[in-house]
Structures are given as C-alpha cells and as structure tokens.
C-alpha cells in the first residue's frame, strides 16, 4: 500500500502540530517499515515531492515571495530542483462541497460504471465490520485497505477506502478506477466495484487474494506456526514462476491495453500471491497512461518507493514504460538474493541492492554463489532459470533509459528466447545529493534526521546525470 507524504504542494503559513506528527510518523515508517502481524499484506513507504527547473523556481519566488517553499538541488551541477514545503491543514469541506464532489465523480466515471458493481455505504460498513482494526490489510497516508465479506456466500473482498479529507483523493479515485476497470489479465488483481458516498468519500472494491504479498515471503524471515517461530523460504521454482507472471502482467499493461499503462509502483508489497502461489499485480493508485510504450513524458510530482525508482524518473520526473522495467529489475534482484533494495544495517558497500549487485551481474553465473539467497541451493535443474533471471535483472537495472530494453524483451530473456547483449556502463564518479540542507528544514524531526538522511542517501546511490537529447518528450 502507499504512504504518500505531501511534499508537492506550494503552501504557505504555519505548520500545525498534527501535521508535524504526521510527517514524523512517515519518516519513521520510511526508515523502519512495519508489518501488520495478523495480515498477509504489508505496508511500505512511498513519497511525493515536486521537481522544477531553476527558471521556474525564480519565477515562483517573484510571484509568491511569502511562500514557505524550501528548494534544493537534486545533485551538484543539476538544473533540477527539489521543492519541499511545510503543509498546513485545509478547511473541512462543507456538505454542499461533498455533494458537488460526489456528482463530479459520478460524471467522470460514468463511461465504465456499467462494467462494475455499485456498492452502498451500508454494505461497505457491514462487510468491514464498521472498519474494524482487525480487518485492516494495509494503511497509507491517503488510503486504508480492509478485508471484507459480502453477499450470501460471504465472498472475500479487499476494500480500499480513500481519505475523504485529502484533496487529491477524488482525482486519484477516478484515475485508479478508470485504469483498473479496463484491465483483464490473469496476473492482475481485478477491480470488482466501487462506492461513492458524499459524506464518507470514495471506495474501491477489489478481489481478495488470500496468499499474502511477495514481500511477506521474501523479507519476513520468521513465520509463526503453532506458536513457534520457524524459518520459511520460497523455493526457486516458485520465485521463477512469480518472475514470469509479473513480467507477463507488465507486458500486458504496456502493450496489451488500448493505451499504455505505467504502474509506477512495482514492488514486492504490490505483488500478491494466490493460495497456489500464482502472482497478481495490485494497487494502481499511482498508475498513469502514456501515449505509447517508449514515449516518455515529464511529471513534476514524483511518486514512488525508495529503491525502486529509475534514475531518469527520480532525478528528472521522466516517466515511460522503462520506469516499470527498472522497478521490475529490482524485484528480480530481490527474488534472486532475498535482500531488500535498501538496508542500512548491511556492511559498507552492500546497503543499496542495485549498486552492490551490478558488478556481480556482469560476471553472470560465475557470481551466482555470491548473488543467490543463502536459503536457496543451486542445482543442475534450476541453473538455467537462474541464469535467465540474472540476465533479465542486469538488463532491467541499466541506468540509461535508452539502453534499457522494453518488457517484451525481458519476457523473452526469462522464457529462454534470444537476449541481446546488454552493455552496462560504469561511471567513475557520482553526483552528490544535497541531503544535509534538505533535512535541516525540518528542525522538529531531529531525532529521525540521521536515519532519514542515511536512507535517502542510499536510495540516491547510482543516480547519475545523463544527457538524453535524443529522447522524445511530450
């Protein structure tokens, strides 16, 4: 699920105590992700901030001299600026505003409502036992997902409740509903219906997937069984099956729909497993359309999860299907190694998974013993599949978007088709992020300052300036 920190708004005024506490909670969640023990789903932090050019920044300062916006260069010598703002509470919407928003939502989604089930708010309340804490599957800053049961047969559902107080919720609801309702793929969690209540806000109802998230199996090292903690591990055959299934899902999003869909948040917590371990991609809260595969566009508000963002997206706000390919490459590395993308407690040089793995990926199967999850054993039977996944991961995490293949080629590599030789360029020096001043603008967060700085610094490793003059931008 998504935890979305509102760094994007240009707001002025004094920050309230509650918003301070909200930001502090987000930073703690980012540096130390927590898991809901009773549920198969887990939460993982994401973030949002704004990017602009130096010229746009100067114009904004002239027009809004009283703005509390703080600005920092993403990297030394970069023309891209990171904007960070203190957020203030907005006035609560009136009854008239609530009804107006509900009518606007109804009008916006009317082209697809005939294909979905419309649930009443009372049905949602009954299904979730009045939003019982025991029914929570995952929480975010702008949404909360509950497990529910509905109908005579007590069918299990995943009910996503969007924050009615968040001004972005109506837009996010419309976008997610319009995209998710158009998808028909066995490796994607289907959207079943929705609910719009003027007082309580919008809801999305998805099919419930009982097996839990991939993150739970990869990174939750202990499993409670009969009151005793015992280690468990996904076998290699299952990991390979998951890689193929999610690759097919991404290929469908990019090439199998009427308009190319970029998911923007591919990670293990958004990959659910059925009872027979069939993978299903979920959570289209950040998904967006693009004109066509490999045709990028620029986005000022960058959203996503540390460790999974492609360099061109994190540094320049550049979105294309290659954004998903990079994130999928990180997931492949997690399947191969059993490691998280960013782990502060790892030895020096191993904290960032992609940076640590790249030299080993270049060696291929010669480095399999160093790359492979220590809980797994290499055999003759699985060696071929391991080699394919190493080749695919190496291609996906290429820093240069123009050299990164599309998902069709990644699927071909995983299935044993002809794979092109991927040239990974290395760079002797990396650009430095201005992290100290970024964190200094939050004096109320001194206790988590060093942890957040360390985490963000690790995420920025491998982010290098590129010249993309030959790329097409819309």
Which active-site residues does the annotation give? Answer: 265
**Contact call for residues 50 and 32 (beta carbons, < 8 A):** no
CA distances from 466 to 337, 339, 399, 423 (A): 29, 28, 9, 16
Q: How far apart are CA 217 and CA 268, in angstroms?
A: 9
Query: Taking CA 251 as the corner, what is the angle to CA 316 and CA 390, rounded to the nearest 5 degrees?
Result: 80
Environment class of 253 (CB within 10 Å of its CB; exposed 0-12, middle 13-18, buried 19+): buried
CA distances from 307 to 50, 383, 452 (A): 18, 27, 14
Give the N- to C-terminal CA distance of the chain in Å, as an integer.
Answer: 30
Q: Which residues are CB-neighbours of 359 under 8 A, at least 6 positions away?
A: none
Q: CA neighbours within 13 Å on the CB side: how many for 427?
A: 13
101-126 burial, b if ≥16 CB within 10 A, otherwise e?
bbeebeebbeebeeebeebeeebbee
Tell me the DSSP string of 263-286: -S--SGGGEEE-TT--EEE---SS
Question: Residue 412, by phi and psi: left (phi above 0), alpha (psi -120 to 50) or beta?
Answer: alpha
Q: What angle do CA 248, 209, 36 make, to 5 degrees?
A: 115
H or E segment and range at residue 107: helix 95-109
**Which residues have C-beta within 8 Å of that of residue 306, sequence separation ≥ 6?**
30, 45, 47, 341, 342, 455, 456, 458, 459
Instruction: Of 133, 159, 139, give the one whose Cα is nearest residue 44.
Output: 139
Q: Tell me if residue 93 falls in helix, strand or coil.
A: coil
What DSSP state is assigned to residue 366? G
Vertex 468 angle, CA 406 and 293, to 5°: 30
Kindly calculate the radius of gyration of the chain based on its CA atoms and give it in whole angstroms.
22
Task: Give bridge partners of residue 303 from the DSSP assignment.
Answer: 48
């Amino acid at each position: 699920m998504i935890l979305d920190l509102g760094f994007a708004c240009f707001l002025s005024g004094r920050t309230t105590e509650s918003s301070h506490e909200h930001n502090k909670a987000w930073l703690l969640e980012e540096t130390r992700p927590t898991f809901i023990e009773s549920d198969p789903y887990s939460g993982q932090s994401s973030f949002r901030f704004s990017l602009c050019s130096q010229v746009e920044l100067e114009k904004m300062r002239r027009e809004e001299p009283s703005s509390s916006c703080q600005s920092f260069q993403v990297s030394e010598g970069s023309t891209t600026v990171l904007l960070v703002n203190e957020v203030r509470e907005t006035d609560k919407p009136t009854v008239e505003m609530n009804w107006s928003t509900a009518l606007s939502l109804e009008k916006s989604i009317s082209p697809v409502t005939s294909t979905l089930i419309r649930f009443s708010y009372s049905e949602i309340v009954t299904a979730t036992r009045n939003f019982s804490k025991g029914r929570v599957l995952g929480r975010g800053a702008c949404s909360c997902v509950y497990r529910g049961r509905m109908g005579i047969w007590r069918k299990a559902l995943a009910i996503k409740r969007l924050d009615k107080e968040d001004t972005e919720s109506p837009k996010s609801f419309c976008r997610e509903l319009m995209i998710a309702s158009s998808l028909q793929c066995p490796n994607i969690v289907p959207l079943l219906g929705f609910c719009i209540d003027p007082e309580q806000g919008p809801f999305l109802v998805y099919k419930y997937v009982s097996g839990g998230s991939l993150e739970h199996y990869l990174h939750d090292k202990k499993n409670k069984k009969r009151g005793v903690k015992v280690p468990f591990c996904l076998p290699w055959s299952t990991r390979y099956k998951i890689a193929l299934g999610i690759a097919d899902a991404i290929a469908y999003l990019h090439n199998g729909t009427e308009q190319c869909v970029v998911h923007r948040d591919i990670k293990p917590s958004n990959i659910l497993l059925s009872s027979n371990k069939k993978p299903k991609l979920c959570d289209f809260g950040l998904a967006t359309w693009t004109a066509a595969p490999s045709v990028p566009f620029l986005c000022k508000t960058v959203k996503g999860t540390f460790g999974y963002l492609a360099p061109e997206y994190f540094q320049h706000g550049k979105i294309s299907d290659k954004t998903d390919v990079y994130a999928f490459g990180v997931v492949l590395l997690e399947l191969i190694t059993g490691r998280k993308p960013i782990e502060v407690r790892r030895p020096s040089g191993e904290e960032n998974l992609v940076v640590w793995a790249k030299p080993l990926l270049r060696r291929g199967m010669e480095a399999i013993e160093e790359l492979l999850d220590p809980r797994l054993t290499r055999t003759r039977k699985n060696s071929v599949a391991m080699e394919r996944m190493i080749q695919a991961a190496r291609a996906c995490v290429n820093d240069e978007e123009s050299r990164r293949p599309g998902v069709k080629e990644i699927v071909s590599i995983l299935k044993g088709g002809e794979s092109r030789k991927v040239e990974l360029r290395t760079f002797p020096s990396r650009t430095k992020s201005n992290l100290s001043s970024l964190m200094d603008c939050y004096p109320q967060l001194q206790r988590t300052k060093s942890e957040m700085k360390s985490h963000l610094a690790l995420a920025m490793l491998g982010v290098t300036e590129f010249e993309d003059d030959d790329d097409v931008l819309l």
